[in-house]
């Protein structure tokens, strides 16, 4: 009887694994980058953010001649951020979605590096792909924090 139960558990486990098409979602995310830009702009119109465990690094690019700004601060939300990212789903997104910065509507981009693999997606400003909805708010919030510190 014990052998039959063990075989049944083994069979059901194998069946479950075979039916799962995205089972391995435990990627080791090492870096998340985020940015915004507006092509027809004067001032600090392009902002880049790089997040790694414990660190938030930002560059703010001036269009028109003034020096760029760079800041580095500690970042405490790394675990929460990376746990909200489905890297497998993110990798399925095309590199460009819509028409980023057409008619100076602005562009946003996200780049994620996990297990040595990097994928970048650029999309229209505030027209988020559904796949990033779990974490785009955190990226935007951290960008605002860094702007307040740097600018």
Q: Does the pLDDT value for residue 26 go beyond 90?
A: no
Q: Does domain 28-150 have CATH number 3.30.70?
A: no
Give the confidence band of 3 by pLDDT, cuts at 50, 70, 90: low
* Domain regions of the chain by residue span: 28-150
The backbone torsions φ and ψ at residue 28, rounded to the nearest 5 degrees and listed phi first, read -90, 95
C-alpha count within 13 angstroms, C-beta hemisphere, residue 58: 27
Residues 6+ apart with CB under 8 A from 60: 44, 46, 47, 48, 68, 69, 70, 147, 150, 151
Q: What is the mean pLDDT of residues 41-48?
A: 91
In this model, does residue 20 exceed pLDDT 60? no
| Whether 111 contacts 120, CB under 8 Å | yes
Q: Are 109 and 123 in contact (CB under 8 A)?
A: yes
Residue 49 tokens, joined: 């953010």
């Amino acid at each position: 009887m014990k052998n039959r139960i063990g075989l049944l558990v083994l069979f059901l486990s194998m069946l479950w694994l075979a039916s799962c098409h995205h089972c391995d979602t435990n990627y080791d995310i090492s870096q998340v980058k985020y940015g915004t830009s507006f092509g027809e702009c004067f001032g600090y119109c392009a902002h880049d953010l790089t997040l790694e465990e414990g660190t938030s690094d930002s560059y703010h690019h001036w269009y028109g001649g003034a020096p760029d700004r760079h800041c580095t601060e500690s970042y405490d939300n790394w675990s929460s951020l990376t746990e909200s990212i489905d890297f497998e789903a993110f990798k399925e997104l095309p590199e460009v979605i819509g028409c980023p910065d057409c008619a100076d509507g602005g562009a946003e981009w996200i780049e994620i590096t996990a297990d040595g693999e990097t994928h970048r997606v650029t999309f229209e400003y505030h027209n988020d792909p559904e796949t990033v909805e779990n974490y785009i708010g955190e990226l935007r919030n951290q960008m605002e924090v860094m702007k307040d510190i740097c600018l």
